[in-house]
Amino acid sequence: MPHGVSWFSFLPGFESLEHWLQGVMGASFYQKVPIHAQHVVAALFVFLCVIFFASIARAALARRGDSVLPDEKLTARNFFEIFLEAAYTLMKDIIGPQAHRYFPLIGALAVFIFFSNMLGQIPGLLPPTQNLNTTAACALTVFLSYHWIGARGQGFFKYFGHMANPMGAWWGWLLAPLMFPIEMISHLARPMSLSLRLMGNMTGDHVLLGIFLGLVPCVVPIPFQILGLLVAVVQTLVFCLLSTVYISLALAHEEEGHGHEH
């Protein structure tokens, strides 16, 4: 199967969707080539898979009632409980008692990114996280969310004023013309880093696996398949870890402001 083409290409109406996207979106802003629908269809497929397995887990949870005992074997319920508990523990260690307020955001991103990464381990399918449009959308969601969290907690002018004068002293405003651009560049680099890191790792992993599957389809690709599973897990962890840190930093400024008031 040619590079950049997946089994989704054979779905009825795929070409029509691709032509429609190209007419609406035009060329990709970073590749300067027509937009392809592969990552859009793959992302929709991931959403359907998540909804399907989540529905199974929810039904199992309803049948078990208040029982906290896990199932005897790996089920959808066990998977989501283990996966989301690990994500919540990570957030609680970084953010603290307020972690539950932001868990829906990080938990949803963790599930979507993990399922998207794992889709690339199936021969003939491309992960949506291999495309910068997908990873940039996730990164921008985090970027806008943590700024909204910080501005809501401290107030708009106080939050962005901290970027101009992080020291808080009166003389710090003298350095504002220098500090504010530096802080803005630092913040703008965060979504770029999140999106490019995830896309680059998933692209490299998928290309490497595809090469060895094409050369020797039996036995030899197995170690690279295992490595791909590890990359899928690690990249999910890295994305969610950094996102949680950014939220924690926005909250830290809020707590610092309350500390000064007291």
Q: What pLDDT digit, counting tens, does each position of 205-231 carry?
A: 777 766 666 666 666 667 777 888 899
pLDDT at 261 over 60: no
* Domain assignment of residue 208, yes or no: yes
Check residue 68 and give its pLDDT. 64
Assess whether pLDDT exceeds 80 at residue 256. no
* 223 domain-assigned: yes
Please state, in angstroms and rounded to a whole number, the distance separating the CA atoms of residues 176 and 199: 35
Q: pLDDT confidence of 247, banded at 50, 70, 90?
A: very high
Total domains in the chain come to 1
Residue 1 forms part of a structural domain = no
Task: Kindly state whether residue 71 falls inside one of the protein's structural domains.
Answer: yes
Residues 72-86, mean pLDDT to the nearest whole number: 87
- 128 compared with 5, residue with greater pLDDT: 128
Strand, coil or helix: what is 49? helix
Look at residue 203 and tell me if it is in a domain.
yes
Whether the pLDDT of residue 49 is over 70: the answer is: yes
* Cα–Cα distance, 111 to 86 (Å, whole number): 12
Query: Left, alpha or beta for 40 (phi > 0: left; psi -120 to 50: alpha)?
Result: alpha
The DSSP 8-state label assigned to residue 175 in this structure reads G
pLDDT for the residue 260: 46
Inside any domain, residue 2: no
CA distance 85 to 88: 5
- Name the nearest CA neighbour of 129 among 115, 141, 142, 143: 115
Q: Side chain identity at 137, as an amino acid letter?
A: A
**Residue span of the structural domain in which 249 resides:** 7-261
Question: Are the C-beta atoms of residues 195 and 131 closer than 8 Å to each other?
Answer: no
- The answer to whether position 40 is within a domain reads yes
- pLDDT at position 6, please? 78
Q: Let me know the angle formed at the C-alpha of 153 by 258 and 87, rounded to the nearest 5 degrees.
A: 105
What pLDDT is recorded for position 203?
86
Q: Tokens standing for 45?
A: 């497929």
166 inside domain = yes
CA angle at 141 for the pair 120 and 78, rounded to the nearest 5°:
50
